[in-house]
Amino acid sequence: MRKPAAVLAAVLLLAGCQNAPPQYARVPAMRIPPSPEEEEQAPKPPPSRPIPSYTGTAGPLAHAGIGHYMDAMEKDLRRILHGTPVARPGDALLLNLRNDTIFEKSGRLSGEGSDLLQALAAVLRHYDRTTVQVSGFTDTRGLPDASLKVSQKRADTVAAALRADGVQSVRLAATGFGQTRLKVATGPDKAEPRNRRVEIKILPHPS
């Protein structure tokens, strides 16, 4: 008499399995990246690099005082743009900005690049008796014509950021040099991060 009881138990077990709700594996939600338009509209975070605060400008630049004027500007640049190489060829100042630091892979300015250029623009607005030459360079990968266009676009991007932060257009010039004027000599088709750069040359302009 135990056999019918066992059969009945098996039937009830199967019926319970059929009525149980189906079990599904959890699939993590997919994150849809924002469109370029949404990124443009999104509020930008405050700069992580302190923006210097000046009262007025550094004043007129007399020929006899060029050295002192550029000395003061060099001191401010080294203090404010700490970590950014600042060279002093004669009475000029030269900043060397690596592309992988100031640009994203898309070619847009990175957060660090935007912060740095905002701080630089504040210094340039104060020392307004200067002109600014923005030069773009690439390494030797790819075709020379394509490299020239990329270097010009990046020089234009940097100049546009400075202009947007109040540096007068008449003081700015942007030029792309592509694969010419390598900082580190290499053969053709060589990836060299030190050659992919933007140089900003600041020159005294007394008039």
Q: Which fold has domain 83-184+192-207?
A: 60s Ribosomal Protein L30; Chain: A; (3.30.1330)
Per the model's pLDDT, the better-predicted residue between 161 and 39 turns out to be 161
pLDDT tens digit sequence for 156-203: 999 999 999 999 999 999 999 999 999 999 999 999 999 999 999 999
Q: Which of 65, 66, 90, 94 is nearest to 78 (CA)?
A: 94
According to DSSP, the residues that pair with 204 across neighbouring strands are 130
Q: How far apart are the first and last CA of the chain?
A: 116
What is the SS3 string spanning 129-175?
CEEEEEEEECCCCCCHHHHHHHHHHHHHHHHHHHHHCCCCHHHEEEE
| pLDDT attached to residue 82 | 86
Residue type, 78: R
Tell me the percentage of the chain whose pLDDT exceeds 70: 75
pLDDT tens digit sequence for 62-74: 776 999 999 999 9
Query: Domain boundaries in the chain?
Result: 83-184+192-207
| pLDDT attached to residue 18 | 57
Check whether 43 has a pLDDT greater than 70.
no
What average pLDDT does the structure give for the chain?
84
The average pLDDT across 23-44 equals 51
Side-chain half-sphere CA neighbours of 17 within 13 A: 6
pTM for the model: 0.75
Check whether 29 has a pLDDT greater than 80.
no
Check whether 38 has a pLDDT greater than 90.
no
| pLDDT attached to residue 61 | 81
Interacting residues of 181 by C-beta distance below 8 A, sequence separation 6+: 137
Check whether 37 has a pLDDT greater than 90.
no
Give phi and psi for 203, each to the nearest 5: -120, 140
| pLDDT attached to residue 54 | 85
Give the DSSP H or E segment for 199: strand 197-204
| pLDDT attached to residue 170 | 97
Per the model's pLDDT, the better-predicted residue between 113 and 52 turns out to be 113
